[in-house]
Amino acid sequence: MRPDSSWQPPIRRPRRLRQNETIRSLVRETSLLPSQLVLPQFIVEGHDIIEPIEAMPGRCRLSIDRTITECKQAIALGVKVFALFPRVPDSLKTNDGQEALNPDSLVNQAIHAIKENCPDACLVADIALDPYSAVGHDGLVSPQGKVLNDETVKVLAQMAVNHAQAGADIVAPSDMMDGRVGAIRSALDHAGFTDVAILSYTAKYASSFYGPFRQALESAPVDAPNVPRNKKTYQMDPANSREAIIEAMLDEAEGADMLMVKPGLPYLDIITTLRSRTQLPIAAYHVSGEYAMIKAAGRLGWLDEKACMQESLIAIARAGADIIFTYAAMDYARWWRESQA
Ligand code: PBG
């Protein structure tokens, strides 16, 4: 090679700040603490039950006693917030999802038991009818196959009060009906639960990445006449981003305390957009399919599971999420602890 006499050594060399881990950590722009993570828990009836979820390696459906054991482990690692999802027996699923209003439902039993055994736990109750619905929808479905908005909102408001009465700290409407945040806030306040917070699934997309979750709860829409095959009339179109701003403005005006974007990694632009449009805390849900992809490729030896999981979560935080729901919360907290040693 001939020396190029016109070339001048660069004055700015970004690599100066990448020379070793100490200097990299000095200039690192984003950090993610275990205290910012929420661990979803799948709960089943019974005692001493651990049912592995096939499409979510490392995660299981647990009976309440086993859930408590795991919550204690998570709390010891610094993960103290749990989102509870019940696997409702088919015999309790109905078209109107009435079991959601049962004061002694599986979720409410879990809330009581976890609160009693883990006083530091903060519990998030999901508000949507799908675990209780015989047809697998988040809302009430008319005989003609329409997902009914206002009728559903009334039930969801009662459901939120039901879980608040059991001791939920946060209610998280994941249903995407219009007007539900306002109805839930009003119902909670009238029932005296002014301190129960609302974390709204604000921009929840009609995503195919929820597959493993629906397998875990056996909650997918059923294949029957006059039952919509998907959730596209209420969850958002993956092609849309401005619509997420409309949803965020409505939820904030209706009294949401925190807003969520879901899924996480494919929707980083939405997280960033909402971050710039609201002062509320933003949560992101690193969903079951995102977790499953990394786990599966890790098992095949195609990806480094730990590195890819950490990279995914820090990327979601960098995009602007303050809070991340992830099935890898305990793994992340362990890795974080090791890195501090
Ligand atoms: C249902 C609900 C879903 C998830 C959380 N709450 C599934 C759905 O909307 O069908 C998905 C979470 C995940 O995939 O990890 N209201």
pLDDT tens column, 86-129: 999 999 999 999 999 999 999 999 999 999 999 999 999 999 99
Q: Where are the domains of the chain?
A: 32-340
Q: Which residues are catalytic?
A: 204, 262
Q: Which of 163, 212, 206, 209 is nearest to 187 (CA)?
A: 163
pLDDT score, position 2 = 66
Whether the per-residue pLDDT at 4 is higher than 80: the answer is no
Predicted structure pTM score? 0.97
Q: Is 205 in the pocket of ligand 1 (CB under 6 A)?
A: no
Whether the per-residue pLDDT at 235 is higher than 70: the answer is yes
Homologous superfamily (CATH) of 32-340 is Aldolase class I (3.20.20.70)
Reading the block at residue 194, the tokens are: 């002014």
Q: Is 251 in the pocket of ligand 1 (CB under 6 A)?
A: no
pLDDT tens column, 283-310: 999 999 999 999 999 999 999 999 999 9
**Atom 11 of ligand 1, residue of closest alpha carbon:** 210
Contact 86, 129 (CB under 8 A): no
pLDDT tens column, 161-186: 999 999 999 999 999 999 999 999 99
Q: Is 310 in the pocket of ligand 1 (CB under 6 A)?
A: no
Q: Which of 236, 218, 228, 206 is nearest to 140 (CA)?
A: 228
Whether the per-residue pLDDT at 14 is higher than 90: the answer is yes
340 Cα–ligand 1 center, Å: 33
Residue type, 9: P
Rounded Cα distance between 198 and 182, Å, is: 10
Position 341 confidence tier, pLDDT thresholds 50, 70, 90:
confident
Rounded Cα distance between 112 and 106, Å, is: 10
Element holding 172 (H helix, E strand) = strand 170-173
